Amino acid sequence: MKIAVTGTRGIPDILGGVETHCEALYPLLAAMGVEVKLIRRTAYIDGTNRLENYKGIKLVDLFSPRKKSIEAIVHTVLAVLYARIKGFKYIHVHSVGPSLVIPLARLLGLKVVMTHHGPDYDRQKWGKAAKLMLKAGEWCAARFANEIIVISETINSILKEKYHRHNAHLIYNGVNIPTPAATDKYISSLGLKTGEYLIAVGRFVPEKGLHDLIEAYTLSGISQKLVLVGDADHETDYSLEIKKKAIKKGIVLTGFIKGEKLNEIYTHAGLFVLPSYHEGLPIALLEAMSYNLRVLVSDIPANLEVNIDKSCYFQVGNVQSLSEKIKKAIQNPVMVDYIQLLQQKYNWETIAGQTYEVYSKLEKN
């Protein structure tokens, strides 16, 4: 089976939850015999990641403007046209924004799998017009996609209640159980010590709640360092303000990191915090759990669905609650073990097998 993939900025080592998802999933599908061609956005390709193949996946780079309001839709139109011209029968579209193009794909004779990673129209970065377009993309997916994959029951409920689509496939995000870092060279270069810092990982956008975390961290008065891992894919007033506040308060900014540097940051951290207002199913949280890190997460539906101990949750947007939880977690450390849960529920090999079954259904119908 040959399938084109779009709706992602690209892989490997490109910032984003959908990108992390694709980077983990498609090599496994390729190993199962699926011929995958993943279509990347040129705006995210440079000398460090200019590749034709990655772990059995064929990569092709098509033009995309580096402008958040039109980037995804322009690129996805080109990707659909490319897939049709190159003779693909099947295309896998990720996320609701790119799903605006699904009717075009169907009109051109392509069969479509769509993965719904979350209601992006809830993200605070979007204006009214963009939110309307994202909602329209969700409608197009619900109405025209041959098969839909949802990464959480929360998203499945949206499809059932809003669009009466009851046949979506619930396939979670996953995580690989890591080998902890054996060195501390990178964290030492940042002035950090093992177990004496807390981390947040994600893009510098309002819905990630980093402004709440900075305020809560300051209010807590703890001596441990706060480390913000990530950056903005499109620089904004918000991301610049986050960086300005971080520098002023002595917070460590790593930028976007992967590989051994990220492994070290997770391995030696004392606490992971996710103050998000919006998530589909947060890979960063699963990654933190894979290191058996103590976690504090906002009580939004996607985080609650992970179903960890109730003491790990705080009311979203409640800076005072978060501050108190941070202080308590630092003062009263506890051991956790999430590995069995992750292996049972969030295993990438299982997820690849489930996705393969969806592709097989697409091929038969």
* pLDDT score, position 130: 84
Range from 11-20, 144-153, 232-241 that averages highest in pLDDT: 144-153
**Residue 153 Cα distances to 7, 11, 107, 172, 291, angstroms:** 21, 27, 30, 9, 25
The b-or-e profile of 315-325 (16+ CB within 10 A means b, else e) is: ebebbebbbeb
Helices (H), the chain: 17-31, 71-85, 102-107, 128-144, 153-163, 185-189, 210-220, 237-248, 259-268, 283-290, 301-306, 319-331, 339-345, 348-364
Q: What pLDDT, on a 0 to 100 scale, did the predictor assign at position 85?
A: 97
The more confident residue out of 326 and 120 is 326
**Residues near 223 by beta carbon (within 8 Å), at least 6 away in sequence:** none
pLDDT at 96 over 90: yes
How far is Cα 338 from Cα 283, in angstroms, rounded to an integer? 14
* Residue 339: how many other CB atoms lie within 10 Å: 13
Tell me what the mean pLDDT of segment 295-315 comes to: 94
Whether the predicted pLDDT of 332 surpasses 90: no
pLDDT at 334 over 90: no
* Cross-sheet strand order for the sheet of 35-41: 53-54, 57-62, 35-41, 2-6, 90-94, 111-116, 147-150, 169-170
Model pLDDT, residue 307 = 86
Q: Residue 210's closest CA among 117, 142, 277, 303?
A: 277
State yes or no: pLDDT of 123 exceeds 90. Answer: no
Asked if domains 2-174+347-364 and 185-344 share a fold, the reply is yes
The whole-angstrom separation of Cα 231 and Cα 53 is: 27
Kindly state the average pLDDT of the residues 313-328.
Answer: 96
The span from the CA of 354 to the CA of 270, in Å, is: 34
What is the per-residue pLDDT across 172-207, written as a single tens digit (0 to 9) for each?
A: 999 999 999 999 999 999 999 999 999 999 999 999
Residue 333 has a pLDDT of: 85
Summarize pLDDT for 51-76 with one digit per residue, the tens: 999 999 999 999 999 887 789 999 99
pLDDT at 16: 86
For residue 128, the Cα-to-chain-centroid distance in whole angstroms is 23
Neighbours of 53 (CB within 10 A): 9
- 304 with 298: CB under 8 angstroms? no
Is the pLDDT at 49 greater than 90? The verdict is: no
Q: Which fold has domain 2-174+347-364?
A: Rossmann fold (3.40.50)
Supply the pLDDT for residue 121. 77
Cα–Cα distance, 248 to 126 (Å, whole number) = 28
Question: d(Cα 126, Cα 74) in Å, to the nearest integer?
Answer: 17
Task: For 206-263, write each residue's pLDDT tens digit.
Answer: 999 999 999 999 999 999 999 999 998 888 999 999 999 999 999 999 999 989 999 9
Q: Which of 98-102, 218-222, 272-276, 278-282 shows the lowest per-residue confidence on average (mean pLDDT)?
A: 278-282
Question: Looking at the predicted structure, is the pLDDT value of residue 315 above 80?
Answer: yes
Token pair of 265 as six digits: 């940051």
- Distance, in Å, from the CA atom of 352 to the CA atom of 33, rounded to the nearest integer, reads 12
Query: Are 200 and 273 within 8 A, CB to CB?
Result: yes
Q: What's the pLDDT at 69?
A: 76
Predicted confidence band at 329 (pLDDT cuts at 50, 70, 90)? very high
pLDDT the model gives residue 66: 81
Q: What angle do CA 331, 281, 155 make, to 5 degrees?
A: 135
Decide: 95 and 115 in contact? Cβ < 8 Å.
yes
Residue 296 pLDDT greater than 80, yes or no? yes
pLDDT band for 364, please (50, 70, 90 cuts).
confident
Residue with tokens 């200019």: 50
Q: How far, in Å, CA of 142 to CA of 150, rounded?
A: 11
pLDDT tier for residue 286 given thresholds of 50, 70 and 90: very high
Residue 153: count of CB within 10 angstroms of its CB = 13
Task: Please give the average per-residue pLDDT across 267-288, as a whole number.
Answer: 95
Predicted TM-score (pTM) of the model is: 0.89
Q: In CATH, what number does 185-344 get?
A: 3.40.50.2000
- What mean pLDDT is predicted for residues 13-28? 93
Report the sign of the C-alpha dihedral through residues 69, 73, 78, 79, in that order: positive
Angle, CA of 241, 246 and 249, to the nearest 5°: 125
Q: Amino acid letter at 50?
A: R
Return the percentage of the chain with pLDDT > 70, whole number.
99
What is the Cα–Cα distance from 212 to 318, expressed in whole angstroms?
A: 8
What is the average pLDDT value for the chain, to the nearest integer? 94
Distance between alpha carbon 295 and the CA centroid of its chain, in Å?
17
For the chain, the maximum distance between any two Cα atoms, rounded to a whole number of angstroms, is: 61
Whether 163 shows a pLDDT value over 90: the answer reads yes
Q: Where are the domains of the chain?
A: 2-174+347-364, 185-344
